[in-house]
Structure 1
Amino acid sequence: MTPDILSPDIAALLVTSFAIGIVIGLTGMGGGALMTPALIFLGVPPTSAVANDLVAAAVNKSTGAAVHWREGSPHRGIATWLIAGSLPTAFAGAFIVQAAGEGEERDAFLKVAIGITLLIAACTYALRLYVEMRRKALGQTVVSAEPTVRPLPTLLVGAFGGLLVGITSVGSGSVIMVVLLVLYPALAGVRLVGTDLVQAVPLVTAAAISHVIVTGIDPAVLIPLVVGGTPGTFLGARLANRVSQSIVRRGIVLVLFLTGLSMLKVPPWGVALAAAVGLVVAPLVWRMLRTRLAVSAEGRKDRPLDGDPGA
């Protein structure tokens, strides 16, 4: 990217990174799913957007991971298998993008890859919201602080997540977290977050290194990402207890889905129609699910819950 393209947009980059930082602080969701498409919409070429976002993410995630590591919350066994699976595929990401062609051909490939990954992230994040709502409605609690590690599935999850992140920078927080929630339902929430953050640092770092080798970094993009994102994340964390998490998270699902459609070159009228359907239908479906779960919970009051030792 040439400096004359970015110079007028420094303020826009700062504001965008600050706003997305607030969302990250509020929800704990990885920034790649939001930041990379935002950079592309601001005029940053896809290859540069992915490379610079990965470098910024490697810096930001290291801080959170260090805190969780000191407090002992990560499950080191699960994190180890995730890292073993993700490192090679994450590092290969930039070279896969490079092999897709040159110039516009490479950018087109990357936009399609990002669009598909965003749709996957939207679906998995919606699944996470449902699983969490179901557990809360049914009163299910963690029954084991040390779940049995499942090496092969965990390794495959790491490999798949590493591939997504290595190519698109999306997936370290939005996709892997959800699969861990399904694989290890007995893992406490704080340990789930800590495990995801710890495994994400080497994953994102490996992906960032390969993209720096292939594409390089642009300080005019990278610096605003770090300068704007850090205080935004801090502010979001401070506001987390004052803002409805449910509304924000459901809003993120819709944004990811619509952004994914835009990346796949769905016509504007198609995106607008999807937005209208999402705004009208999604709340009705969500309310129906909550009602059904409430009825199910009422009927299970006198029976052991799934996972209960007495079941």
Structure 2
Amino acid sequence: MIDPLYVVSGFGVGLLVGMTGVGGGSLMTPLLILLFGIHPATAVGTDLLYAATTKTVGSFAHSWAKSIHWPAVTRLASGSIPASILTLFILWQLDLNGESSRSLVNLVLCFALFLTAASLIFRKAIMQRHSWRLEQLDPAATARATVLVGVALGVLVSISSVGAGAVGVTALLLLYPQLPMPRIVASDIAHAVPLTLVAGIGHWATGEIDWHLMGVLLVGSLPGIIIGSYLAHRVPEPALRLVLAATLILVAGNLASHELLSSSSIIAAFASGAAR
């Protein structure tokens, strides 16, 4: 049975993704955790394969338009894929269904949301402050830095499903200032496909995927992405970025407070049991 609320949620997130290019994992994962009560590990795993599906469609479109900078994609993937596999192995050792893993996912998710919001708000200032230094890097140094960025994204995305959008775009803008924005976005989307697919398969191997939920979300999000893409040129981008960043900060704050309350409850229950 299809829950209309999941469809509406998918449509809303898809609309924002189509209009801004970011926000898929940043909004979908916390939405599943806070609104629908999905276990964080299941929410992350489901969102990763959901993202792999939607970004594959976008990647094919950009590839057809020949707007992808493949050297940057290859360098990012050479760092992110091994980092993702190692991170997933560590998460498997920690037991994804355990309480400690729940707390880890929530904490990393909060960090990733704040980092994404900062990337949206301060991207222009960061570019103005540091781009001239990065322009002086030789090609070999740029390649090494790109691989390191890939490693960081691999860890971040595998734990939280967040970071491949705004954070990846900001890093590519700094490392490849000579590339136009459309090629930066296209390259970031192309890199996100193998990363989210590998990370999603890793979560699938541990049973942390809700296939029915993913299908219902796609029913709503695919039309949302199409409509959002149509509206993207009709709404001021700075206003959209600020609204999205404010939303991410609010969501991260709610997740953090939720985690603190859960931790307090566990500590209180432990103390009460010890007192007895």
TM-score (norm 2): 0.84
Give distance in 1, aligned partners of 2:185 and 2:226: 17
Question: Which of 195, 216, 221 pairs up with 1:224?
Answer: 216
1:24 equivalent to 2:54? Answer no
Contact 2:41–2:208 (Cα < 8 Å) also in 1: no
Give distance in 2, aligned partners of 1:70 and 1:111: 37
Task: Name whichever structure is richer in helix by fraction.
Answer: 2
1:206 equivalent to 2:198? Answer yes
Identity %: 34
Contact 2:45–2:208 (Cα < 8 Å) also in 1: yes
Deviates more, 1:153-162 or 1:171-180: 171-180
Matching residue of 1:244:
236
1:174 equivalent to 2:169? Answer no
Q: How far 1:129 sits from its partner (Å)?
A: 4.6
Residues 77-88 of structure 1 aligned to structure 2 (within 5 Å)? 77-88=71-82
Contact 1:92–1:166 (Cα < 8 Å) also in 2: no
TM-score (norm 1): 0.75
Question: Which of 29, 34, 37 pairs up with 2:30?
Answer: 37
Decide whether aligned partners of structure 1 residues 106 and 228 sit closer, same or farther in structure 2, where only a CA change above 3 A counts: same
Question: Which of 252, 259, 272 pairs up with 1:260?
Answer: 252
Q: Which runs of 5+ in 2 are unaligned?
A: 130-134, 261-276
Matching residue of 1:116:
111
Q: How far 1:157 sits from its partner (Å)?
A: 0.4
Q: Give per-residue Cα distances to partners, 1:47-81, cap 9 Å, x unaligned.
A: 11011111111111011111111211111111110
Q: How far 1:266 sits from its partner (Å)?
A: 6.9
Q: Which has the larger radius of gyration?
A: 1
Q: Secondary structure at the match of 1:97?
A: helix
Decide whether aligned partners of structure 1 residues 169 and 223 sit closer, same or farther in structure 2, where only a CA change above 3 A counts: same
- Aligned residue type for 1:99: Q
Q: How far 1:159 sits from its partner (Å)?
A: 0.7
Question: Which of 123, 140, 154 pairs up with 1:128?
Answer: 123
- Aligned residue type for 1:93: T
Matching residue of 1:296:
none
Contact 1:93–1:210 (Cα < 8 Å) also in 2: no
Give distance in 1, aligned partners of 2:25 and 2:255: 15
Q: Secondary structure at the match of 2:159?
A: helix
Matching residue of 2:266:
none
Contact 1:93–1:207 (Cα < 8 Å) also in 2: no
Q: Which runs of 5+ in 1 are unaligned?
A: 1-6, 136-143, 269-311
Calculate the aligned-residue CA RMSD, in Å. 2.4
Q: How far 1:96 sits from its partner (Å)?
A: 2.9
